[in-house]
Amino acid sequence: MTVYYVYADFLNSLSDGAAAHFKNNASILNLVHHRRDFNLDACWTFTVTGHGKAAGDSIGAVLKSTARRATLSKNILLSTAKDFYEFSLRHQSETANNSNKQNLGIHVFFLDYAEFEQVKEGVIKVRNEQIRSSGESNYFLLNIFTLHLGMINAIRNKHEFQLINNNTV
């Protein structure tokens, strides 16, 4: 992120309130490390499932509908995430060139599974194990709720998580 958005100083991740997010305490707790990892403050905001998140949903809808039209009309096969990424990148580049614009309208990124697994095993898993083995129920504070053995108490009642200091979300 900091390579592509060098002037960014804050990241607000928006996602719906899917149960899978709430089961993954590690994602929320990883906000503590965001500043150290990326030199960028961050928060994570959850909205109601099925309700639009404005631009975020619109961008995804544009990319998916464009790909769908192309697969139907031009006999293009997009069978993997990488195929979809390459198609979307190519389409955004062609659209910018045809409009005499230097910048793409939508920036798309691809995270390779091997890279994801490497970070998951070498960084995230290690951090989670440190949290679980610490046994300190006040290692992270969530307003008046605490983390105990890697679990955020009453996590489903919260809709935004933001880093307050080096060990408080």
* Banded pLDDT at 80 (limits 50, 70, 90): very high
Q: What is the DSSP letter of 74?
A: S
Lowest mean pLDDT, pick from 37-46, 74-83, 125-134 = 125-134
Query: Using only C-alpha atoms, what is the Rg of the chain?
Result: 19
**Is pLDDT above 90 for 151?**
no
H or E segment and range at residue 70: helix 55-73
Higher pLDDT, 33 or 56: 33
Return d(Cα 85, Cα 110) in angstroms, integer. 6
**Is pLDDT above 80 for 65?**
yes
pTM above 0.85, yes or no: no
Domain ranges of the chain: 10-53+122-162
DSSP strand E in the chain: where? 10-16, 41-47, 141-142, 145-148, 151-152, 160-162
**Is pLDDT above 60 for 147?**
no
Q: Does residue 163 contact residue 31 with C-beta atoms inside 8 Å?
A: yes
Return the pLDDT at 142: 43
Percentage of the chain surpassing pLDDT 90? 22
Return d(Cα 147, Cα 110) in angstroms, integer. 33
Q: Does residue 169 contact residue 131 with C-beta atoms inside 8 Å?
A: no
Higher pLDDT, 126 or 68: 68
Handedness of CA 94, 100, 106, 107 (dihedral sign): positive
Question: Averaged over 100-120, what is the pLDDT?
Answer: 88
H or E segment and range at residue 146: strand 145-148
